[in-house]
Structure formats: C-alpha cells, structure tokens
Amino acid sequence: MQLSTHTTPSGFLLPSIHSAPPFFTQQPNPATQAIVAEQWSKLILSYARFRNMFTLRVEDAEIPGGEWDEVLRNERINRRLLPAHLASLIADMVSKNLASYDPPNQTRSVLLWWRQPDEWAEVLYQWADSTGQMNTILTFYEILDPPVPSALSGIPITVLRRAVSILTKSQRAQIISVSDGEGVRFLSRNGK
Amino acid sequence: MHRLGGVGLAAFERQQQSARSFAELSSTISQTQVENLHNQLAQFRAALSRYASTHRDAIRRDPTFRHAFQQMCSSVGVDPLAGPRKGGWWAEILGLSDWQYELGVQIVDVCVSTRERNGGLIEMGELVRLVSKLRGVGSGAVTEEDVVRSIKTLRPLGAGYEVLDVGGGKKMVRSVPRQLDEDQAVVLAVAQEEGGRVSEMLLVSRCGWTTDRARAALENMLLRDGLCWLDEQDEGDRTCYWVPSAMRWD
C-alpha cells in the first residue's frame, strides 16, 4: 500500500495519511485515537484556513459535494468520515481550544480557530495601524467589509468581537457605541 | 538579381548549415552552464563539509542548531554526519567507529519519530529508506547490514531495540521493549504481503487458524499493543485491520 499526498481540485494538498483507509474509522485504542484526532484537527484547520472557512457542522459529513467534501471523504479509497466520528473529533478540538461551539449550548456546529483569538487581535491591530485608522472610530461593518479587501474581510462577527475584546484588555482599543450598532476606536500603544 | 541568402539549392544548404551551427552553439552554452552549476555545487558541498567538521562540537551540543544544520544538509544532498572520524580508520575497521554510533542515533531518531503511527515496529526496508532520507545520501550508502550492526551497538543501552525475522525474508525492527508472540509475527508477515491490510477471514484462509484465534491475535495487536489500526468501512470483510509498519508512507 503506497500512501501519497494528493492535490484536490481546489488546489489543497492532502497529507498522505488521508489516503490510509483506517484513518476514517474511530480507533478503539485511545493512544491510536489520539494520533488520529490530532491529525484530523490539523487537517481540518489547515483546510479551513486554505478556503477561508470558519464553520464546521456535524452534518457536513453527510453532504456529498458540500464545501467540506474534499476532506471528509476520500473517493479514491471509498472512505468517509462518519458523523459520529466527526462529532467526537469536534469535541476533541473544542477541548483543545482549537474550536468553540457556535452558537453556544449545542454540539453540532463549531467555529474554527485556525488563528487563535489573540492572533486575530494582532492581525486586526496591524491592519488598523497599516491603513492609518488609529484613533478613528470604525463600525464593525467597516472592518468586516472594507473598501480594500483585507485579511479580515468576511470573518464572523464573533471572531471580530473576541479580537476586539482582547485589544481592549491591553488598552489598544476602545468599544464605542455608535448610532447603527457598535464601533471601535484603536489606540496607539505609546498613548499618542 | 542578387538576394541575401540567394535562391535555389545552394540557399537551402546554407540555411541548414546555419541552423546546425546555432544548435551546436546553444548546446555548448548550456553544457558550460551545467558544468558551472556542478562546480558551484561541489564547492558548496566541500565548504559545508568543512564547516561541519570545524563546528562539529557545536552542532552536537545545540539541538536547534543541529536541526537547522541537518535540514540544510539534506536539502543539498550532504551526509550531515560525515567528516573526520575521531577513532581513525582502525576503529572503523574494528566496527567501533563513530559512524556506527551515529547511524545508531539516526535509527533511534527514525524509530522514535515513527513510533506513534506504527506502534514501535518498523519494516527494515522502510527504516533504511527513512534513515537514508535523513542522511540525505543515495539509498545505497546505508545498507541493511549497517542497520543491523548499529542496532547491536545500541544493545548496551538497554532500550530494547531488536531485529525480528517475520519470515519470507522480511525483517522488522522493534523499538519498544515488548515481546511479540508467535501469532503476531505471523500476522505481521501476512500484512507485509498484503500491503498492510489483514482481516480475520484472511488469516483463517491463509494460515488455517480458527476464527477465534485470528480475532484474539488481531484484538491484542489493536487494543493492547497499538500495532494496527481498525478499518470499519472495508468493502469485502466489513471490518479489517491495517498494520502501519507494513504500509509505505511518503
């Protein structure tokens, strides 16, 4: 059995373990399952990053041709990830802070943190700095849909809110209520 | 009327002649370029080896430095551990050379880094291939014999490295201090032949075992030793087992 990497039609490079048939079965041996879970979470996060996706649902394992199909299914060896297995992988990712249930209080859908919240905070702050928007008030809408596309274009509002709250803790941003909702003002670090 | 290049057969000849000359010229130029590149590469390798021998101790002491250095070496195709042997060639002839120990270290490196996926059991050919890859030299440079000899030199460390004969001329290296029972050795040999895949049915028909015996052997490997992975989506047998150490990983 030769296991090799594979490039999907969308250009994502699948690791060689993705062509190993037992990779798609939940392993009864806890030590082995830990390896499987680690490999899956790595794969899921890098694919989400590649496609700029933020949500993974247990149902995605059952949607042929869906946006997760390339990863959750391997037609070349006729294997797919079963929903129950995906649910346990998701729970594992949540326990490692690589994902969080979104909306909360359910376990069928998660928000994927392929950048950790503090990394998003840095990206946000860098963006505000490099586009010269320090000390101006920006609405959340202006950040999520800027005239010039940025790394933050189209990120979920939950992610943005977490990033902003991290920045407020280090006195680098201030939440301000504006007429049509919330706004934020970025503050330069040396208090100019 | 006089035209540049002329008319008739003579012109045709002349044109062919010039095309030939251009082709010759271009091949000479590309040959010199290739030669130049070869020279540069050879010089670079020599410089790198010299660097390695002068900074040998630093490379050994500092793990991050060593890692960076090894990566650089393998990308240009240089054996990172080559260099002046401390024991001289006598030591090498007597089988006590640094080289042998160094190979041992690389074997341990490969065994430990693949342990989590193969449960501490690796096929000899695969081990040789991975060690060669790590050394960045052609696969002829390290042989199965070298590996066997190096593993013997590791014995005093008591890490339990052992070469197992699983039959059919196939050898495996075990890097966990655990005893393999006879049935497991048979399962491994069958897995080798089948490219990693084994099932109860296969063991029953191939080895004449009872279903219970086959199941017990496979369950032990799966649950107790972590030497194989379960696959519940198999077309033929519905449930089958895969031995990662018998699969070839890129």
- Whether residue B1 is contained in a domain is answered as no
The CA distance from B151 to B146, in Å, is 9
Does A90 share its domain with A104? yes
Contact A21/B231, CB-based, under 8 Å? yes
Measure in Å the smallest separation between the Cα of B196 and chain A Cα atoms.
Answer: 6
pLDDT band at B81; cut points 50, 70, 90 = low
Give yes or no for A42 touching B (CB within 8 A): no
Give the CATH number of the domain where residue A165 resides: 1.10.10.10
Tokens of B81: 């551990």
What's residue A190's pLDDT?
60
pLDDT of residue B139: 44
Residue of B nearest to A3 (CA): B249
Q: Which of chain A's residues have a Cβ under 8 Å away from the Cβ of B249?
A: 3, 16-17
Mind giving me the DSSP string for A112-164?
E-SS-HHHHHHHHHHHHHHTT-BTSEEEHHHHHS-SS--TTTT--HHHHHHHH
When CB atoms are compared, the residue of A16, A21, A32 closest to B250 is A16
Task: Provide mean pLDDT across the span B87-91.
Answer: 40
**Residue B138 belongs to what domain range?**
85-177
Distance (Å, rounded) from C-alpha A6 to C-alpha A19? 8
Q: Is B168 within the bounds of a domain?
A: yes
Cα A187 to Cα B159: distance, rounded to the nearest angstrom = 58
State how far the Cα of A141 lies from the Cα of A145, in Å rounded to an integer: 6
B193 and B169 within one domain: no
Is the complex ipTM higher than 0.85? no
Closest residue by Cα to residue A45 from A56, A60, A61? A56
Q: Could you give the number of structural domains in chain A?
A: 2
Lowest mean pLDDT among A19-28, B19-28, B176-185, B202-211: B176-185
Rounded to an integer, what distance in angstroms lies between the CA atom of residue B48 and that of residue B80?
9
Mean pLDDT of chain B: 78
Kindly indicate the confidence band of residue B232, based on its pLDDT and cuts at 50, 70 and 90: very high
| pLDDT (mean) for B224-234 | 88
CA–CA gap between residue B224 and residue B218 (Å, rounded):
10
Number of domains in chain B: 3
Do residue A163 and residue A126 come from a single domain?
Answer: yes
Look up the domain containing A64 and give its range: 6-112
DSSP element (H, E) containing A3: strand A2-3
Is the confidence at residue A88, as pLDDT, over 60? yes
CB contact under 8 A, B242 and A22: yes
B97/B102 Cα distance (integer angstroms): 9
**pLDDT score, position B28:** 92
Per-residue pLDDT reduced to its tens digit, A6-64: 888 888 999 989 999 999 999 999 988 999 999 999 999 999 999 999 999 999 988 88
Residue B2 counted as domain residue? no
Last residue of a domain, one of B152, B177, B202: B177
**Residue A135's pLDDT is what?**
87
Contact residues, chain B, for A80 at CB < 8 Å: 233
The residues near B229 (Cβ < 8 Å, ≥ 6 apart) are: A20, A22, A23, A25, A27, A32, A36, B222, B241, B242, B243, B244
pLDDT at B83: 47
